[in-house]
Chains A and B, each alone.
Chain A
């Protein structure tokens, strides 16, 4: 008979004597059989890795006075980015230097082809503007720079934020920065790039063609801001792909219908009759959309974007 069972039965010798009368069919042979079979009921054992993982998970509970019993280990594990000491990193220095620190990594992430493409697009737009013969009917109430600025900005934002909601975004979120810092770095990088490029183009035009630089700058600056903010808002709400296609569609619609859209035609230059009213409308819409984006980012601030939560970010 199994030694363990024999020992137990010895402990229960009194019970054996007391219970021997009732149902006396249990023979020692039955217990021998029981002793043979009982060890068969083996149970899996956790590995030392499992134990170590459990320890890692539980030990922080000893220090955290705010974790209550109901929460237990179901409480959200803080992201790596959240436990990093960000005081000495992102929060020091002036606003400009902090923004610069956010932008620099994005500069390295973007492909050189992106910069080459942007430069080419702005360069071609400028050459078309300088050309004595305006092709594609640009001689109307718009010009290549005003047309290109919003299109490039929306495509640039979509390209720079292409990882948003993908596993790559998860990886990027493991770095010590919040989703809004991540987004700010990318958007600032794109906007800075195009603002500089189009400002230079405007400078060249003003110097070469003698055009009034301020109205011309307003002509491309407002659609650039409007399209960028709308792309951003749509991206936060519906995802990168939807935002890109919607905004490209919107740009095409503006291009096709042109002046027929009245004050809602944002791609007009100074020769457009409703230039001022369209720019005012564009500026107001930009402010409203910017407010929405800020609200959205503040609301989502600190949300752990885990694989399961990515869905809530609508990508």
Chain B
């Protein structure tokens, strides 16, 4: 069933359609929010809130033209709301949980190398503006089309393209500098 077909079913407030929608988008939305907020518990809460809003919108017949950008937009807005809260800004996320969940077959050194590399990416992403970070995550990790991203972040397509390119360049430069600093 395509998203368009799903949308038709959702207009009839079909519980099976909503179930399908949650099955389809739960994992990607959770991953998206996790990458943006970097806290599994907050990500879980926001994901649930995101789907609650979707559910209530379906119930009240407030449906969009296109599902995917709509869901991501709700998720993005929830993250923005979170960032606006002063309490969240003081939180320092850790990756201890991820470290402890690596498969057993990995060696300690390979886990550590991957973890350092991961932290470098996260650190590079963190140096981007909020908008740019969202765009990079949406395009690279969530595999959304540029047009969809443009709808989600409410920016013209050209601006999205420009910001994405600048963000990738900046990240590449940061990572290169780190590489040079480490080897030099």
Contact = CB atoms under 8 A, between A and B. Distances in A.
Q: Please indicate whether A and B come from the same complex rather than being unrelated chains.
A: yes
Interface of A: 4-5, 8-9, 11-12, 14-16, 19, 23, 25-27, 29-31, 33-34, 36-38, 40-46, 50-51, 54-55, 57-59, 61-62, 65, 67, 69, 72-73
A42 B34 CA distance: 10
Interface string B123-163: 00100000000000001110100100000000000000110
7 contacts: A8-B140, A19-B166, A34-B172, A37-B117, A40-B114, A42-B118, A46-B26
Contacts of B22: 51, 54-55, 58
A55 B58 CA distance: 14
A275 B2 CA distance: 86
Given A61-B55, A62-B18, A44 B169 contact: no
A34 B175 contact: yes
A290 to B, nearest CB: 45
A3 to B, nearest CB: 12
A52 to B, nearest CB: 9
Given A4-B140, A73-B48, A45 B30 contact: yes
A61 B56 contact: yes
Given A19-B165, A43-B34, A44-B34, A69 B56 contact: yes
Contacts of B23: 51, 55
B4 interface: no
Interface string B94-136: 0000100100000000000010011011100100000000000
Given A37-B175, A73-B48, 12 more contacts: A12-B161, A19-B169, A25-B173, A34-B172, A34-B175, A43-B34, A43-B141, A54-B22, A54-B26, A58-B52, A59-B55, A62-B58
B82 interface: no
A73 B140 CA distance: 31
Contacts of B55: 58-59, 61-62
Nearest to A68: B56
Main secondary structure of the interface of A (DSSP, over half): helix
A11 B146 CA distance: 9
A33 B175 contact: yes
Interface string B21-56: 011001100111011000010001001110111011
Contacts of B146: 11
A119 to B, nearest CB: 56
Contacts of B118: 37, 40-42
A72 B27 contact: no
A36 to B, nearest CB: 8
B61 to A, nearest CB: 11
Looking at chain B, what size class is its interface with the partner chain?
35 or more
Contact of B162 (A15, A25, A55, A73): A15
B19 A59 contact: yes
B173 A26 contact: yes
Contact of A38 (B47, B140, B166): B140
A127 to B, nearest CB: 66
B171 interface: yes
Contacts of B3: none
B87 to A, nearest CB: 18
B82 to A, nearest CB: 15
B164 interface: yes
A29 B176 contact: yes
A5 B164 CA distance: 11
A62 B59 contact: yes
B179 A33 contact: yes
Contacts of A29: 176
B67 interface: no
B168 interface: yes
Given A5-B140, A12-B164, A43-B141, A30 B52 contact: no
A44 B31 contact: yes
A73 B49 CA distance: 7
B156 to A, nearest CB: 13
Contacts of B6: none
B169 A50 contact: no
B18 A58 contact: yes
A19 to B, nearest CB: 6
B64 interface: no
B13 interface: yes
